[in-house]
Amino acid sequence: MELAVINHPGLGAIMDPIININKPKQPDSPDDGIYPDPKEPIKLPVIVGKPVPVPTPLMGAIRIRMPGGPEVLEYRSVTTPSLKRGEVLIRVTAASVNKYDVMLRKGLIAAAPGDNIYPGLDCAGVIEKLGPGATKWKVGDEVAALLSGGGYATKAVTHEDLCLPIPRGLTASDAASLPEVACSIILSIFTYPGMANNTPRKEPLRVLITGGSTGIGTLAIQFAKAKGCKVYCTTSTEDKAIKCEALGAHIAINYNEQDFADRIWRDTLNTNEPGVDMVLDVVGAPWTSQNLRILKREGILFMVGMRSGRVADILIGPVYTKNCSIRRTLLITLLLRSHIISYDTMIFLKYMFYMF
């Protein structure tokens, strides 16, 4: 045992390890040595040893053990991530499943450098902790959030600017399914000139959505319809086509039964210019030439997915003769991390998000 010396002239009881300091021994006389001179330092016992370790905060997370089916997902106890400047910690109540997560699980893609190694691109939950400089939310706020992975966990970290208030009337499960898909749609077709501010037109904008029954497709149909567009979409079965039309599609085309470009061309022959103003493509390579063929002059092909292939043989004539353009819309979290768009852009995205 080692003694620590503390100068405390006002202390009224001797600190001896054998004596109960709450019931000090009473002296026989004022100078018997039990009560020291208050001007003298008092020696306190200090136990010498290793400091008591502070427990590491833990949380639950689902990790991918190896490439494969859902059975390769396993629940593990992992360290809760620390917060950087402007970040928030969310207690997750619901997380969504995106195509990215499925491809990651199957080993078809790998998490990009800087991304969380756990799946889950968006979630809903409650703000549990604020990082340094985070001022836009308070602990206890319910939010939906965009993530660069890590949604399949009991807690998730993201920048405060990537959080959205849960729209009134939506459950946490509903809200968790929206951020990545909704913002990707807004960042693509809603950047078409005049689309965001409802510029008056002689004819409604015409939009083709390939893969109308996908997660992006089903929401894009409703968004475009709400903005007054005439919506065409493609699907692989008649049953899916019926469901897409129920969501608001003007015509849903089973591409296994007919050429969708010809079908759209016939339907638009009596307009100022046949074709569509823009294409939102989640399918990829197989339909690229047809997508370009059906575009009107100065039309835009927005590529948001490559479900059916990455390599396409295309006729580039329409790009030249009609001055068409092709734009690639990346996952919004990748755009933000790469500084291709700024966090200020989220103001526009949030505004458009809540218009619906």
- Note the pLDDT tens digit of each residue in 3-38: 333 333 333 333 333 333 344 444 444 444 444 454
Residue 344's pLDDT is: 47
Residue 21's pLDDT is: 32
Q: Tell me: the pLDDT tens digits for 328-343?
A: 776 555 545 544 444 4
Tokens 């995106």 found at: 98
pLDDT of residue 39 exceeding 60: no
With beta carbons less than 8 A apart as the criterion, state whether 117 and 63 touch.
yes
pLDDT of residue 236 exceeding 60: yes
Residue 150's pLDDT is: 92
Average pLDDT over residues 53-80: 89
pLDDT classification of 162: cutoffs 50, 70, 90: confident
- DSSP class of residue 56 equals P
Question: In the chain, what are the domains?
Answer: 1-49 (no CATH), 59-177 (3.90.180.10), 186-333 (3.40.50.720)
Average pLDDT over the chain, rounded to whole? Answer: 79
Q: Which residues contact 90 (CB under 8 A, 6 or more apart)?
A: 123, 125, 126, 127, 128, 143, 145, 155, 156, 157, 158, 163
- What would the DSSP string read from start to end of 101-120? HHHHHHTSS-PPTTS-SS--
Residues of the chain above pLDDT 90, percent: 46
Question: Which carries the bigger pLDDT value, residue 86 or residue 26?
Answer: 86
Q: Tell me: the pLDDT tens digits for 195-206?
A: 766 666 777 899
Least confident of 41-45, 81-85, 120-124, 178-182: 41-45
Residue 209's pLDDT is: 97
Residue 4's pLDDT is: 38
With beta carbons less than 8 A apart as the criterion, state whether 301 and 325 touch.
yes
With beta carbons less than 8 A apart as the criterion, state whether 34 and 27 touch.
yes
pLDDT of residue 317 exceeding 80: no
